[in-house]
Amino acid sequence: MSSKPQKNSAAFFIFVNNFVHFRKKYATIYVYMQFLVLAVISFFAPLLARAHVGYVVSRDDMLLHKGPDALYLLQALAQPTNLVIIFTTILVVGLLYYFAHKNLFIGTYMRDIRFTLTSYYEFVPWILRLALGIALIGSGIHNVLISPLLGGYAIFSFLQIMLGFLMLAGFLLVPAAITAFTLYLFAFTRDFYMLGNLEFAAAALAMIILDNPRPGLDDILLFPKIALKEFKKYIPLILRLGLGGSLIFLALYEKLLNPHLSELVVTQYSLTTIIHISPAMWVISTGIVELILGIFFIIGFRTRLTSAVAFMVISVTFFIFREDVYSHVTLFGILSVLFVTGAGAYSVDRWITRKEPKISPLRPRKIIDQTPATEEKPKAKRKRAPRKKKAL
């Protein structure tokens, strides 16, 4: 009589023991991941802090300190200490990536995250609308044209503010996005430095292709939509090219081709007291990191990881430079979208995961299973038991 309660209590004890063991194991790994993220942020935050030197340096200082200086950059590479720092950083990052890639728990955890993110695809148009809308309203309020680099354009203030509110309300969405894209082209003709804001044009182009006003007035009022469904799968590619192109331009123009522009920021904000290296080493390391990130985005290599790290790092830098948030909202929006969608078509990530189940882009939780369907076996007929003859 008492054997069944004993078995139940033993099974319950085993379940509780396994659950506690799993929680302890998961908590340990979670703590390790937190320390790893903090270490990455603390190391790369100063290096990525100056994505736009023109935001914190005056126009006169930029004109005064422009010009290439290869010898200045070679000074940093000529010092043995700096070479040791470079190779040690490459070795540590490579080892961390290798062991994280080989860890079974982290691999399973990342696959679960990717599957969960498929349910966030429906929020991609809303994220882009918020980013573009806030950026346009901020530019209009500060009397600049899209970027703080082009000040004194009060004539476009009302237009930008109106476009921003149209984006937020989801009203006349495609005309508003086309107008915003045209404004960027005009700004580019005024100053080629606007290549550093190429992500703004990419976000506007993505909004034109998506044409998804939910939630918004266009959807409520049943306005017709443009048919560009065949181009929606290229949305991550467009965003990657815009973001990666802007980072590569800033790395080459501000750091490697005009190193003394970035040196101004190093001395102005006393960055050498944060990490005790020479200003030349600061400049060349920043340029190399931005260049690598830009290449990673363009080729689509570990796009979600790169987007997450860049998002956290750029968030930290606002506490250092006190920049206006509106000038980086499109950058935050695109990083968020790429974290959701991944690299998409024409990327290294897609090539790496080609053997895994494919996730349809920009469609929530729809997994395309490539395994052939198995044929159903015919049900076996039940044999009837022979009837017993009644005794006479």
| 49-52 LR contacts (CB < 8 Å, sep 24+) | 49/271, 49/286, 49/317, 49/320, 49/321, 50/254, 50/262, 50/265, 50/286, 50/321, 51/196, 51/247, 51/250, 51/290, 51/314, 51/328, 51/331, 52/149, 52/196, 52/250, 52/254, 52/327
Q: What was the pLDDT predicted at 389?
A: 54
Q: What was the pLDDT predicted at 71?
A: 86
Q: Where are the alpha helices (DSSP H) in the chain?
A: 3-44, 59-64, 70-78, 80-102, 104-117, 124-141, 157-169, 173-190, 198-210, 217-220, 235-250, 259-268, 279-299, 303-321, 329-341, 348-352
Token pair, residue 342, equals: 């991944």
- Quick check: bond before 215 cis, omega within 30? yes
Number of domains in the chain: 1
Q: What was the pLDDT predicted at 321?
A: 67
The helix or strand, by DSSP H or E, that contains position 359, with its residue range, turns out to be: strand 358-359
- Residue 138 and residue 147: Cα distance in Å, rounded? 9
pTM for this predicted structure: 0.76
Sequence-distant (6+) residues with CB within 8 A of 55 are 148, 149, 321, 323, 324, 327
Q: What was the pLDDT predicted at 378?
A: 52
Residue 100 placed within a domain = no
Domain assignment of residue 167, given as a range: 45-80+116-367
- Phi/psi at 154 (nearest 5 deg)? -65, -20
Residue 392 placed within a domain = no
- Measure the N-to-C terminal CA separation of the chain; round to a whole number of Å: 47
| pLDDT beneath 50, residues of the chain | 1-2, 4-5, 7-9, 12-13, 15-16, 19-20, 22-50, 357-377, 392
Residue 282 placed within a domain = yes
Residue 38 placed within a domain = no
DSSP SS3 for 179: helix
Residue 382 placed within a domain = no
Q: Could you report the per-residue pLDDT of 188-221, keeping only the tens digit for each?
A: 999 888 998 999 999 999 999 988 888 899 989 9
Q: What was the pLDDT predicted at 380?
A: 53
Q: What was the pLDDT predicted at 323?
A: 67
Residue 233 placed within a domain = yes
Strand partners, 359: 367
Q: What was the pLDDT predicted at 276?
A: 79
Residue 245 placed within a domain = yes
User: Do 73 and 259 touch, CB atoms closer than 8 A?
Assistant: yes
